[in-house]
Amino acid sequence: MSDRKFFVGGNWKMNGSITQYKSLITDLKNAKLDPKTQVVIAPPALYLLPAKDLLQDNDKIELSAQDGYHKPSGAFTGEISLVQLKDAGIPWVILGHSERRTIFHETDEDVATKTKAALEQGVNVILCVGETLEQREKNESIKVVISQVEAAAKNINDWSKVVIAYEPVWAIGTGKVATAEQAEEVHKAIRDWLAKSVSAEVAKTERIIYGGSVNGKNAKELASQPDIDGFLVGGASLKPEFVDIVNARL
């Protein structure tokens, strides 16, 4: 097991209500969480500031936005800028999630531009990468994932502000999970690329987390892999089993 701090993010996506977010956060605050695990939750943007108020007396749960726009301000109806996230005191942002790439057609270049804007504002980035089922069946998984990392890497000067989340698109919300061996293979490939293309130190310290139908039952096996440093959790982050996932290394 590495000395990289275990990281578990909860991406609520477009779910929840005022009643639900209050309940989820209260339950999480009262839960016994592994103190060695960094926990970050990403409620819908509408609930970020009231969630921040709920968490103000807490030092074990941080907040993330689910996306951010690279322009600081302007006529971009519906968007939230990285400048505004910084102003609101939101320390993290998820960028490049497969749903942003597939549904909203964000390109590698879009994600790279947003990553640059986030880091310029001092907002930490959960950088999502992953291949489709078609790409996996063509044995292109590693090629696709590395190209996505490489595009963003051009705009990253401080890797301590970035967590890479490998999320195979075919395993998100489908109930299908990459086996521990499949996930480890891609995580190791990313780490090898970092060693070759960035530095040995970054490869050693960079946290690479897994996402894709992670739940309380499979988390421990996945967490036992040498290059898996945590999880980005979707649906299960809205359930009590999220605590089991946070505690996967206990």
> Rounded distance, CA 165 to CA 99, Å?
14
pLDDT at residue 236, as a whole number? 95
pLDDT at residue 177, as a whole number? 77
41-98 tens-digit pLDDT: 999 999 999 999 999 999 999 999 999 999 999 999 999 999 999 999 999 999 999 9
33: nearest Cα among 204, 236, 211, 246: 246
pLDDT at residue 106, as a whole number? 98
- Residue 227: both structure tokens together: 């290059």
Kindly indicate the confidence band of residue 213, based on its pLDDT and cuts at 50, 70 and 90: confident
The 3-state DSSP class for residue 136 equals helix
pLDDT at residue 22, as a whole number? 97
Average pLDDT over residues 30-34: 97
- Residue 223: both structure tokens together: 């967490």
CATH architecture of residue range(s) 6-246: Alpha-Beta Barrel (3.20)
> Rounded distance, CA 80 to CA 111, Å?
15
pLDDT at residue 196, as a whole number? 98
Average pLDDT over residues 227-246: 97
Instruction: Indicate whether 110 pLDDT > 90.
Output: yes
Instruction: Indicate whether 178 pLDDT > 90.
Output: no
Instruction: Indicate whether 172 pLDDT > 90.
Output: no
Residues designated as active site: 97, 167
Instruction: Indicate whether 176 pLDDT > 90.
Output: no
Q: b or e along 48-72 (b: 16 or more beta carbons within 10 Å of the residue's beta carbon)? A: beebbebbeeeeebbbbbbbbbbee
Average pLDDT over residues 220-249: 97
- Residue 221: both structure tokens together: 């096996």
